[in-house]
Chains A and B, each alone.
Chain A
Amino acid sequence: MANLLADPDSGLTPAQLAARHGLRVAGERPTIGAYSGQLWRYRHFISAYAHAKLTASFSNARLGQLWQVLTPLSNAAVYFLIFGVVLEQTRNMPNFIAYLTTGVFIFNFTQVSLQQGTQAISGNLGLIRALHFPRACLPLAITATQFQQLLGSIVVLLIIVVATGEPITLMWLMLVPAVLLQTVFNAGLTMAMARLGAKATDLKQVMPFILRAWMYGSGVLYSVTLFAENLPGWATGIVQFNPMLVYIELARISLLENTHLLNDSLPLTWLIALGWAVVAGLGGYFYFWRGEQEYGRG
């Protein structure tokens, strides 16, 4: 029954009929402007979904949301035992405990966002195939969840910082823009990982190695001066532009009075932090939007 006319009454071909009544091609990708508008209308969905995910992840644990702070705290304790006590990084290092926990908590924010980002699409296929919403909601919800987690960690961090003898100064306020820039950076990167993870299923296996290497390159666990001492000049130059190192350094500058830094110039550090946030944020968003109509297929 392959009829050329879609509607016997009007004598139009299917395409003409569709055009006449303003029908659109199914599953067409909206323009990036329209997409951003949709995303804004779905902001309540993003926050509800992020909150729900957070509660769900602790729903089976007896200590519940206490794990939100217990996990980074026990991580920091293990690292302190290895790098502080066994390997004696504490030598000629002021306040190593605060230095270490700042690094661990800040890095953890990005690390978990990216790990979960690879699953943002592939782990929610049921939702994606059932309902229509801008898919960027999913990676953004992951970033929002991790941001909430980070706020919990920061409270613990501030207590540790004060308990280890740091003064409370106005510099602490610098932590706010630093964390916000990192959040934008994370959101963009999480969106990029979500698209990659939707197609390349091997990524989940590779991610732990990439993140491990990234952590060692960000001076989380040891003094950053080791980079300058042991690496050739050009390599140190590269490490200085490492976004994670930059975000961690900004947090350390704001919280610790006297600490080891790789980047001497504070304005330059802020510039790099801002640059990475813009590049990753916009780039990740654009890259994710380009794949919008592919998600949930196959």
Chain B
Amino acid sequence: MVNLEMSNDVTVTLPRIEERIPTVVVDDAHVVYRVYRGSAGNTSPVAAFKRLITRTNTPNVREVHAVRGVSFTAYRGEAIGLIGTNGSGKSTLLRAIAGLLPVERGAVYTQGQPSLLGVNAALLNDLPGERNVTIGCLAMGMSPADVRRKLPEIIEFSGINQRGDFASLPMRTYSSGMSARLRFSIAAAKQHDVLLIDEALATGDKAFRKRSERRVRELRESAGTVFLVSHQLSSVRDTCERTIWLESGEIRMDGPTREVLAAYEAFTNGK
């Protein structure tokens, strides 16, 4: 087991004594997804009828080749930052690792079932926060007894009760920061083999960000692997010791966070 103090250098120079255990192996993965353009295509009844007769579907569907041949191996106990400009394929790559998008070519191997945590992951907005915690935890496969035990802890961690009793109000009354915090707290309550975080730490106030960064570190220490997609380089710097820089769906750089961030900052400033 790689210990935390060492891990900053371990990826660079130190010879490894113990064999590292891979948790995610991405082998030359290509992800192509299809977008239904909806109103952008010709949607007049005549055109739709013509498509139906000729059995073509093309004018409405566009293919986007979002990830082009990405290969890397992630190990147990690593926290990996994924950075890149907008549309570089970061979120798509995460969804492929989570098994939510199929790879067109290549393969993604994972240990256990990776969990993807994104800001847009809505639960049930008509229900109180507490209920959402219960349902979310059960959906992650916890037993009802575990859920009862963890419920106060999760509410406490999310800090939604700091401004009065919000836990019993429907989630639609929450501010966007509050609901993002609650969602993160739910997902972080369980021990994941692989946790994929998509911009979730960016929302929420500073106090919560500190708490969640600490939680990510805990998760990683207890033998998990954490992926973090973020545009906030500071949170990548604080949580990850390894960073992968994606550009137009290809890996531009993969290495220690400090070096990759320096190169990335030079690249974005130069533009």
Q: Which residues of A contact B (CB under 8 A)?
A: 1-3, 6-7, 9-10, 13-15, 17-18, 21-28, 41-42, 44-45, 48-49, 52-53, 55-56, 59-60, 126-127, 129-133, 137, 293, 296-298
- The one of A1, A7, A18, A25 in contact with B254, judged by C-beta atoms closer than 8 angstroms, is A1
Question: Please, how many residues of chain B have a CB less than 8 angstroms from a CB on the other chain?
Answer: 58
Q: Which residues of B contact A (CB under 8 A)?
A: 16, 19-28, 33-34, 36, 69, 71, 73, 95-102, 107-111, 113-118, 120-124, 126-127, 131, 134-136, 138-141, 143-144, 170, 183, 187, 251, 254
Please state if A25 and B109 are interface contacts (CB–CB under 8 Å): yes
Some 21 contacts from A to B, beta carbons below 8 A apart, are A2-B71, A6-B22, A9-B16, A10-B19, A18-B109, A21-B21, A23-B23, A23-B109, A25-B110, A28-B99, A45-B135, A49-B139, A56-B126, A56-B127, A59-B126, A127-B123, A131-B121, A131-B140, A132-B140, A296-B100, A298-B33
Known A-B contacts A23-B22, A27-B100, A56-B126; A15 and B139 likewise in contact (beta carbons under 8 Å): no
B173 to chain A, nearest CB (A): 12
Known A-B contacts A2-B71, A14-B107, A126-B122; A131 and B136 likewise in contact (beta carbons under 8 Å): yes
Please state if B73 and A6 are interface contacts (CB–CB under 8 Å): yes
- The one of B25, B118, B134 in contact with A14, judged by C-beta atoms closer than 8 angstroms, is B25
A154 to B66, CA, bound (A): 53
A-B contacts at CB below 8 angstroms, number: 148
A residues less than 8 Å from B101 (CB atoms): 297
> What 14 additional pairs, Cβ within 8 angstroms, besides A22-B111, A132-B115?
A1-B251, A14-B109, A17-B25, A17-B73, A21-B21, A23-B22, A26-B97, A27-B99, A45-B138, A48-B138, A127-B123, A130-B117, A131-B139, A298-B36
A9 to B22, CA, bound (A): 12
Please state if B100 and A7 are interface contacts (CB–CB under 8 Å): no
